[in-house]
Amino acid sequence: MEFICVTLMIIIGITDSTADQFAVVGPVDPLFIVSGEDVILPCSLKPNISAVNMRVEWFRLDLKDSVVHLYEDHEDKNTNQLQSYRGRTEVFKDELQKGNTSLKLSRVKVSDEGLYKCFIEYKSWSDDLTVDLSVEAVGSPPLITVDGFDVSGGLHLQCESKGWYPEPELVWLDSEGVTLTSETTDKQRETDGFRVKHMITVYNRDSKYHCRVIMRHHMMETEIITSSKMLNSLMSSVILISVGSVLIVITAVLIIVCVYRHRELPREERRIKNVYILNSLERQTFSLREKGTVESVKSLLRKYAVNVTLDPDSAHPDLIVSDDGKQVRYEKQSRTVKDEDQKSNNKFDKELCVLGNEGFTSGCFYYEVQVKGLSVWFVGVARESVKRKEVIWLNPENGFWMAGLRGGYRASEGSSSVSLPLSVAPQRVGVFVDYEEGRVSFYDVESMCHIYSFTDQSFNKKLYPIIWCIDFAPLIICDL
């Protein structure tokens, strides 16, 4: 009898110990975020058991005494939190019941870059996960100035840009796109990032030169056009007056030209003007924006507006579509509901996507979505034949043409991802598609600034509006 009792106690002890066990899971690849934006450091329990009664601690691996956030005994305990993180961190209390122990970090700084440990402890069991956060700071547009002549008539051009992190590459290109060798190079680390300065000497009297700053997926470019008339005038001035006076005049003239150009165009348009090739419609909207007629641009795009409603039969089980098909939000469903929903071949069961009801095989169409207050979202179009039963990158190779916010603004995912250095967070995004031309463009509706375009695509199957969403607040399809 004693033997049976002892055996039962051992079995019960093993069962209780096993019930307390869990694994901490999260991203394997580094997270990239632009300075000034908010980021969510993913971390969750597997299986999805409640973390309400657990100790959840986030800290930096690369810093001493580096508490970033501590949750314990049902409350935040940040007495020993690093000063630089005060008021910028939070765990999702409503999500702890579902095993979500992710950390939201607001207003990311360059100094936030590093390795973060998510450590979860309950009774005698614990596990942890390391999240690698990389921070990028997008600097100022490159500024070209004239720095004088040499004795053989060459023109010294200097290009400078600042505020970048990590260290960017600055290159000069001629009108054919050939890289030119810089004669002097100066790079300095400052408090707000890196300052880079390069100078070249050019001899071609009628040409165009580009100064380009490149950092990972970010790029800015400025150009200057030289002409024989301009250079001959300057050379005559060199003969008539002292070299010093001529240099002052040239520098002043070019500074005025640069300032004039920069005042004429809004900052975001300066950033993209020389990066993206505009099609005939975008050239019209760009011309209208130069005149400040934002409403005219909206009217031009909305000529192609279509009524988009979402198809609940295609939605991932964790996405809730409103009865009118105009809103979608994320809500974790029970496994029983999921298993029932996943029987449908039309549903996405891995990616949090939902398609529109109507597809298009020709012409142009346009729709707008409200993303105000959302922290993670993607919008765009997708082929009817995209895979719905597996985890895939949301990129053109897999039939998705999308842009949105996920650890920073970006177009597409995977190796083809392009980071979008937006200076203002869009509240409403417009999606324009030209089927025959193979173009998908995205606009900030309030300012009518062009955000990004997929160009030279080949569309030969039906395209549907598509939404990817993992936010508890609703993403709304706008009526136009």
For residues 130 and 175, membership in a common domain is answered with no
Report the pLDDT averaged over residues 287-298: 59
**Structure tokens of 52?**
């309400």
Pair 258, 367 in one domain: no
Kindly state whether residues 122 and 149 are assigned to the same domain: no
Question: Both 158 and 233 in a single domain?
Answer: yes
Q: Which two tokens stand for residue 341?
A: 């929903």
Contacts with 436 (C-beta within 8 Å, 6 or more apart), sequence order: 362, 363
Same domain for 431 and 374, yes or no, is yes
CA distance 437 to 460: 11
Domain around 182: 143-264
Q: How many domains does the chain have?
A: 3
Quickly list DSSP for 243-307. Answer: HHHHHHHHHHHHHHHHHHHHHHS-HHHHHHHTTS---HHHHHHHHHHHTT-HHHHHHHHHTTB--
In a domain, 89, yes or no: yes
Indicate if 327 and 429 belong to the same structural domain. yes
Residues 461 and 360 in one domain: yes
Which residues are bridge partners to 103 per DSSP?
Answer: 41, 91
Instruction: Tell whether 328 and 466 lie within a shared domain.
Output: yes
**Whether residue 473 has pLDDT greater than 70:** yes
pTM of the model: 0.44
- The CATH number that applies at residue 456 is 2.60.120.920
Measured distance CA(114)–CA(196) in Å, rounded:
24
Mean residue pLDDT of the chain comes to 83
| Same domain, residue pair 221 and 353 | no
Q: If we measure between CA atoms, which residue out of 37, 100, 26, 25 comes closest to residue 407?
A: 37
Domain endpoint, select from 116, 136, 156: 136
Interval 343-356: pLDDT, tens: 677 899 888 999 99
Residue 178 pLDDT > 70: yes
Are 367 and 385 in a shared domain?
A: yes
Q: List, for residues 36-92, the tens digit of each pLDDT value.
A: 899 999 999 999 999 999 999 999 998 877 899 999 999 999 999 999 999 999 999
Do both 322 and 340 map to the same domain?
yes
pLDDT at 480: 87
Q: Give pLDDT tens digits for 374-393.
A: 988 999 999 999 999 888 88
> How far is Cα 435 from Cα 82, in angstroms, rounded to an integer?
52
Report, in this order, helix, strand and coil percent for the chain, each rounded to 5: 20, 40, 40
Looking at the structure, tell me whether residues 368 and 469 fall in a common domain: yes
CATH number of the domain that residue 170 is part of: 2.60.40.10
Mean pLDDT of 216-224: 85
Amino acid 244: pLDDT: 55
